[in-house]
Amino acid sequence: MQQKENLQQRKVNSLAELGEKIFLDRYAIKDAKKETLAVGDTVVVCVNLKTGQREIGTVERIDREEKQVAVKLRDGSIETRAIEHIDKPLETVPEQMFERIAQHIASVEATPELQAEWQGRFRELMDDWKYVPAGRIFTGAGTGQHLTYYNCYVIPSPKDSRGGIFETLGQMAEIMSRGGGVGINVSTLRPRYAYVKGVNGRSSGAVSWASLYSFVTGLIEQGGSRRGALMLILNVWHPDVIDFINSKKEAGKITNANISVGITDDFMQAVKEDKSWDLVFPDTSDPLYKEAWDGNINRWKEIGGKVIKHKTVRAQDIWDNIITSAWGSAEPGMYFIDRANYYSNSYYYADLPCTNPCGEQPLPAWGVCNLGHINLAKHVDDNSPAAGKDVDWNKLKRTVQDAVRFQDNVIDSTPYFFDENYQQQMSERRVGMGTIGLAEMLIKLELRYGSESAVEFIDKLYRFISITAYETSVDLAREKGAFSKFDAEKFLQSGFMQRMPEYIRHLVRSYGIRNVTILTQAPTGTVGTMVGTSTGIEPFFSWTYFRKSRLGVHQEHIQLAQDWLAAHPGSELPEHFVTAMELAPEEHVKVQAAVQRWTDSAISKTVNAPEDYTVEQTKKLYEMMYDLGCKGGTIYRDGSRDEQILAIDHKKLGKDASDQVENGKRSDASVGVPSAQTIPQPAPEPTPAPMPTPEPTPAPMPAPAPHPQTPAAPQMTRQPSPTAQAVGGLAQVSPRKRPDVMQGSTYKVATAYGNLYVTVNEDEYGPFEVFSQLGKAGGFFGAQTEAICRMISLSLRSGISLQNVIDQLKGIRGPDPVFHNGERILSLPDAVANVLENHLKRGQQTLQLEIPQPVETPKLVQEPIFQAVTQEMNTGKLEFVKSKTSVADLGHAPVCMMCGNMLRMAEGCQKCESCGWSKC
C-alpha cells in the first residue's frame, strides 16, 4: 500500500522535461565531492563548456584514474566529460526535496508534537505543487549550508559623502555575492554641479554614483549562473531626474540595473493640471544636513531644513520624457512612492523608499523579500459540473492558512548575514505570499483573461486570499505573539487596513497580528516554468513557439491548449484561451489593478502592448495605472527592439533554424504536465568551426615576442602600396592578395558571451588579417565578431594601419562589460581591440574605473525643457517614434546568459523559456 501511495505521489509531482532539468540542476542537493557517484546514477552534465548548458543523463561508465565520466543523455547520445563537469543530485524526485524543506521549516515550532504535525502539513502543502516556495528556500532550507532563504533586499540610501557612497557599495556587493538582489534609492545624493566643501569642487551628481553601483553589479556573478540584480530609484523632485531618465540612452552610464522614477502624488496632480514643477534639494550647508538628511524631502521640510530650488520646469515635460523613454525601452519604470507608503501597514515606523529589483516588494531600509507562491491552477474544483466550474474554496483556504505559517517560520529558520536584516525582519516579520497559475485557472473556469467577468472574479478571488491570510496571521499572533512594532490604532489607519472588512479590523485590534505585510505578486519565471503553469498573474505568452537547443529546433506547446484540442478534434481554441499579445493593454492594467486592490505589498507585472502602440497611448496607459490604484508598472511594446524576445515564428531564430524547421528537422515538446508525445530526435551535430576549442593552439610559427628589455614593438610602417585604379574619377583601392602561408598568434579573451579566440596573422610588412571564433558557427554573436574581423582584415590589406583600426574599436560599450586579466572588456568590438592592442604592445595592461564628471557649463537660467519634443507630441508630428529602437541603442541584449536563446519579458522581468533562467 505504501509503495502504491509513493508511486501516486510521484505521478502528481512529476515534471515535464524542462521542469525536471530546473529541479535537478538548481534545487536538488548535490554530492559536491562525487564520492557516491556510480553507474546508473541520474546526473546533470555540462554539455557546452562555453555556455554552461546542462542536460540530464545516466552514468554509463566512470574512469576514476582519468577522472572522466560517460553519460547517456535523454536523447540517447553519449557525452564523455571530466568529472568536475558532472553534478550528482542526491535528490532525484521532488518528494525528497519536499521532505527536506518541510522538516527544516517545521523545526522552529515550539514542541516536538507541533514539529511533527507541521512537518506533515508543510509536506502536504507542497505536494502536487499546490504551494511553491521561492527558489532560495528550495536551494537552502535543510541543506546545512549557510544560505539565505530571502531573494531580495533594500538597503539604506547612501549617505551623501564619499565614505557613505562606498559603504553602500560594500553592502550591495556583499548581498549580491550571496545571491540576493538589491534596491537602492539614490535621492540622498546631492545633484550635479552642487558644491562639495570638503574638496572645494563640484559634485558629479547622483547619476554618476548610480552608474558606479550599476558597474559593480555587472562584475558580480552569483553562483556562476546569475549576475547581480539591482534596482535604482531617483525621486521626481531631484534636480538630476532628467539625467536619470535618459541614463539608459547614454552608453556606459547605467547598464546593469533596472531604474524607476519615484513618482509622488503632488507631481501627478501637477501633470494633470499642467502646472510647473520645482526640482529641489536640501541646502547642504544647513547644520542639520549631515545628521538629519535621509532622502525624505517632506520630512526634511517638516523639521525646518533649508531647501534650494535648482530649476522650475513643466511637470508635463518630465512626464513626457519618462513616457517616451518607457515607450522605447520599457525603462524607466514607475514607482508611485506616495501611494506605496500610504497603503503600507508600516507607514508609522518605516518609509518604503525603494523596491526590490523586480518591483513587487516596496521595502524599508534593511527589509527583505520572504516569498512563496500559491499555485491557483491546482485549486479548481474538478468535481464541479462542467456548466458550473468553480474554485475549490475549502482547499484554497487550507493552502493559504498553511502557507502563511510556512512563510512565518521561514523568518526564524533562515540564516542572516547582516545583523541589520535580522533586527528589521524580527521586528516586523514581513511575508510575501503570492500566486502563480492565474491564467491557467481562468482558462479552466472558462473566463477570458482581462474580460469584465474575469476582473470581477479576480476581485473575489484575491479578496478571499487576502482575508484568509489576515485571519491566519491574527491566529498566529494569538499563538506566538504580534510583531514587535505592532501598534493597533496606527496599524489600522493604514490605507490597506481601511479597505479591509470591519470584522478583520476588529480581530486585529483585539488580538494583534503576526506579520506587518503578508501578500505580494512576484515574478516566478523559474519556479513557474519548472512546475509548468502560467507565471505570476501573467497570461500565457503563446500556445506554440519555437525553441532552439543543442538537439535542434523544437516546437513547444502549452499542454493545457494541447489537451483541449485533443478533446475537440477539428475545433479552434475558444475565446477564453487568450495569450498576452491578444489582449488589449488596458486589459492587462485592469487585471493588475484588481489584484493590487487586495495585495498589501505590490506587483511585478508586464503590460504587453502591440508594436504600433503610440507614445500618446502609452501615456494614457500609465495614467490609467495610476488612476486605478497600481503602485507601479512596466509597459513592454512589442517590436521596440530589432530582436524579438520570443521566437513564435521559427524564421526569427535565424536562417539555419528556419531551414531546419522547413526541412522537417525539428521535434515537438510540451510545456506543462508531461505526456507521452513525440520523442525529440537529435539534430545532426554542426560542422566544427576551424578554430579549436576550448583551448586553441597557436597558429604555426608564431611571431616572436618583443624582447623584455625593449619597448613594445611599434607597428611596421614599411608597407607595400595597395594597388589603385581610377574609376569614375575616384581612386579605387584593391586589397593586397593573401599569400599561401602566413605566421600568426591566437589570443583568448573573456567576454560576456563566452571566451573569444582571436588570431592575428602577419606577413613581412606586419598585421595582415584577423580571424575570430566565439561559440558555435552560425550564432548571433559569432556572426557579429566574424563581420568585425572581416572588415579589419580588409582594412589592413588596403593599407590602413592597425592602430587606426584599434582607435575605431576601442571603447565601444555594450550591455555586459566584464573583466579579463585586469582589463575592462566593454563589448565584443572592444574585446577585439584589446587583443589587437596587446598584439602591438604586449605586457602593457591598465585598469580604469571612470566615474562620469561634468564637462559642460551649467545653465543658471530657468527655461522649459524638451520644448521641441513636447510641441511635436502635441501636434502629432513626432516622427522619430515610428522607427524601431536598436538593441545597441537600448544597451540591452535579449539573450540568455546560460544557453544563448532568446529571452522574453514577463512580470517586469526577463526569463528564458529554454533553460528556465530568470534575471529576477
Residues serving a catalytic function are 356, 358, 360
DSSP string computed for 37-101: --TT-EEEEEEETTTTEEEEEEEEEEETTTTEEEEEETTS-EEEEEGGGEE-BS--SHHHHHHHH
Q: Hey, how many other C-beta atoms are within 10 angstroms of the C-beta on 265?
A: 13
Give the up-direction half-sphere exposure of residue 582: CA atoms within 13 A in the CB hemisphere. Answer: 14
Distances, alpha carbon 172 to alpha carbons 212, 215, 281, 546, 657, in Å:
11, 12, 25, 38, 41
What is the rounded CA–CA span in Å between residue 859 and residue 812? 30
Contact 523, 888 (CB under 8 A): no
Query: Alpha-carbon torsion 476, 478, 480, 486, what sign?
Result: positive
User: Can you count the helices (H) and strands (E) in the chain?
Assistant: 30, 35
Closest CA to 615 of 855, 412, 444, 869: 869
> Under DSSP, is residue 907 helix (H, G, I), strand (E, B) or coil?
coil
Mode of pairing for the β-strands spanning 201-202 and 195-196: antiparallel
What is the rounded CA–CA span in Å between residue 633 and residue 645? 20
Backbone angles phi, psi at 318, to 5 degrees: -65, -45
H/E segment holding residue 470: helix 452-480
User: 773-794 burial string, b = 16+ CB within 10 Å, else e?
Assistant: bbbbbebbbbebbbebbeebbe
Residue 802 grid coordinates:
592597425
What is the rounded CA–CA span in Å between residue 871 and residue 66? 72
Residue 322 grid coordinates:
519618462
Residue 591 grid coordinates:
487585471
- Peptide bond just before 694 cis, omega within 30 deg: yes
Contact 774, 748 (CB under 8 A): no
What is the rounded CA–CA span in Å between residue 382 and residue 128? 14
Our measurement of the distance from residue 350's CA atom to the centroid of its chain's CA atoms, rounded to an integer in Å, reads 27
The angle, 0 to 180 degrees and rounded to 10, between the axes of the packed helices 393-413 and 94-106 is: 60
How big is the chain, counted in residues? 920
* Backbone torsion region of residue 264, taken as left when φ is above 0, otherwise alpha when ψ lies between -120 and 50, otherwise beta: beta
Q: Hey, how many other C-beta atoms are within 10 angstroms of the C-beta on 820?
A: 17
Contact 158, 165 (CB under 8 A): yes
What is the rounded CA–CA span in Å between residue 409 and residue 413? 6
Closest CA to 123 of 143, 150, 95, 142: 95
Residue 786 grid coordinates:
566574424
At a CB cut-off of 8 Å and minimum separation 6, what does 102 contact? 118, 119, 120, 122, 123, 125, 126
Contact 519, 633 (CB under 8 A): no
Single-letter code of the amino acid located at 621: L
> Under DSSP, is residue 283 helix (H, G, I), strand (E, B) or coil?
coil
Looking at residue 435, the DSSP 8-state letter turns out to be E
CA 635, 334, 162: angle at the middle one, nearest 5? 130
Looking at residue 209, the DSSP 8-state letter turns out to be H
Residue 600 grid coordinates:
498589501
Please identify which residue in the block is written with the cell numbers 502563511: 404
Query: Alpha-carbon torsion 725, 728, 731, 736, what sign?
Result: negative
Contact 647, 656 (CB under 8 A): no
